[in-house]
């Protein structure tokens, strides 16, 4: 995304290592750690041989292979074929995972024991690397799919990510609640296109230096906390020299919601979205001290008031710490 984050700038499909190095799944990235070794990121045959899984469908699988194993980035193997509903385009997919060290076969992490599936995978070619999209689409609930990862860390860890698909649901891409009818008349006016993308008319609004967090659509989902990671659709504007709206960033232009931590955004977002509910749409008017202050950003002059329309479409809960 644009400049919204204040700490990191990674389009991760999940959080930290507990999300199975989902950078490997993200568009434009070959594998977790973004290894620059091109010889390890490509294979004429992307299917991974020699890896098997045993155990009851839908339960934690036992992953077996001869060690040490040479792992090729972007390699995969369908280890267990599930018998549940089939994964379709536009689904949000929840997976349980276990990660196995390719050198010695030791378990590196697992979500099974604490029953903390990751639900950040959305079946959308704008969100997923084509290869991963093609592998996962059409699989069924309780299938287990393994992916090979050559990590780019200092210890050059290679491992097998074994993802077991445990549920699916249709991914929401816009606010789904009820329109608020008592929005103050002096605020900027927001108009939505047929697909939900917003446009804004400043309506003569004069910012007074205070944060405005006005609900435009009130959702009925869970309440968002300031420590949560969320999926959002958003557009941001500043006022140009003629008093008109100048757009500087929008997830709508990218074709898919953006995942971000409310601990890694400008303060106006953290304060304005905390306590709101999933399914809501918010108008945020963010004064400079809660935005970028006197530091200019691309498309954002110094000391700018920021205007955002934000749709809260999913809440993952508190961000998991890195391991």
307 lies in some domain = yes
Q: Where are the alpha helices (DSSP H) in 16-104?
A: none
State whether 142 and 34 are in the same domain: yes
**Residues 165 and 290 grouped into a single domain:** no
Asked, for residue 209, whether it belongs to a domain, the answer is yes
**182 and 309 housed in the same domain:** yes
What pLDDT was estimated at residue 319?
62
- Structural domain ending residue among the three candidates 122, 148, 170: 170
Q: What is the per-residue pLDDT for 126?
A: 84
Check which CATH number belongs to the domain holding 40 and give it. 3.10.50.40
Same-domain status, 218 and 258: yes
Q: Identify the helix (H) or strand (E) that includes residue 40.
A: none
287 domain residue, yes or no = yes
**Structural domain of residue 120, as residue ranges?**
17-170
- Asked if residue 211 belongs to a domain, the reply is yes
Residue written as tokens 């993802």?
163
d(CA 192, CA 173): 14
Q: What's the DSSP call for residue 25?
A: G
User: Are 146 and 262 contained in the same domain?
Assistant: no
Query: What's the rounded Cα separation, in Å, for the pair 214 and 180?
Result: 10
> Do residue 195 and residue 159 come from a single domain?
no
Both 166 and 234 in a single domain? no
Number of domains in the chain: 2
288 and 185 within one domain: yes
Task: With respect to residue 11, please indicate whether it lies within any of the assigned structural domains.
Answer: no
Distance (Å, rounded) from C-alpha 75 to C-alpha 48?
Answer: 5
Residue 164's nearest CA partner among 281, 263, 42, 81 is: 81
Regions of the chain with pLDDT less than 50: 1, 6-24, 26-43, 320-323
Q: Cα 265–114–262 angle (5° rounding)?
A: 5
Domain co-membership, 42 together with 78:
yes
pLDDT at residue 295 in the model: 96
Q: Does residue 10 belong to any structural domain of this protein?
A: no
Q: What is the model's pLDDT at position 3?
A: 56
Predicted TM-score (pTM) of the model is 0.83
Domain end call among 119, 149, 170:
170
Q: Are 208 and 276 members of one domain?
A: yes
């Amino acid at each position: 995304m644009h400049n919204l984050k204040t700490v990191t700038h990674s389009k991760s499909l999940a959080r930290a290592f507990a999300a199975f190095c989902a950078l490997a799944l993200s568009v434009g990235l070959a594998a977790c750690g973004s290894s620059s070794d091109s010889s390890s990121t490509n294979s004429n045959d992307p299917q991974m041989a020699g890896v098997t899984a045993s155990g009851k469908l839908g339960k934690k699988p036992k992953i077996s292979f001869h060690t040490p194993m040479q792992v090729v980035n972007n390699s995969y193997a369908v280890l267990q074929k599930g018998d549940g509903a089939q994964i379709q385009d536009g689904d949000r997919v929840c997976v349980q995972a276990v990660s196995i060290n390719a050198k010695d076969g030791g378990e590196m992490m697992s979500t099974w024991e604490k029953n903390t599936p990751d639900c950040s995978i959305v079946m959308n070619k704008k969100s997923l690397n084509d290869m991963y999209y093609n592998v996962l689409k059409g699989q069924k609930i309780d299938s287990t799919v393994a992916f090979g990862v050559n990590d780019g860390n200092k210890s050059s860890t290679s491992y097998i990510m074994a993802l077991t698909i445990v549920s699916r649901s249709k991914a929401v891409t816009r606010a789904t609640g009820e329109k608020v009818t008592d929005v103050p008349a002096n605020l900027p006016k927001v108009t939505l296109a047929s697909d939900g993308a917003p446009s804004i008319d400043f309506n003569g609004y004069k910012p007074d230096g205070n944060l405005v967090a006005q609900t435009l659509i009130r959702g009925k989902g869970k309440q968002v906390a300031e420590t949560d990671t969320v999926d959002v659709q958003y557009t941001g504007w500043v006022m140009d020299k003629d008093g008109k709206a100048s757009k500087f960033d929008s997830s709508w232009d990218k074709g898919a919601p953006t995942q971000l931590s409310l601990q890694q955004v400008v303060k106006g977002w953290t304060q304005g979205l905390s306590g709101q509910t999933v399914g809501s749409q918010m108008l945020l008017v963010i004064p400079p001290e809660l935005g970028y202050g006197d530091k200019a950003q691309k498309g954002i002059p110094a000391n700018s008031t920021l205007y955002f329309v934000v749709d809260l479409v999913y809440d993952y809960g508190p961000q998991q710490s890195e391991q």
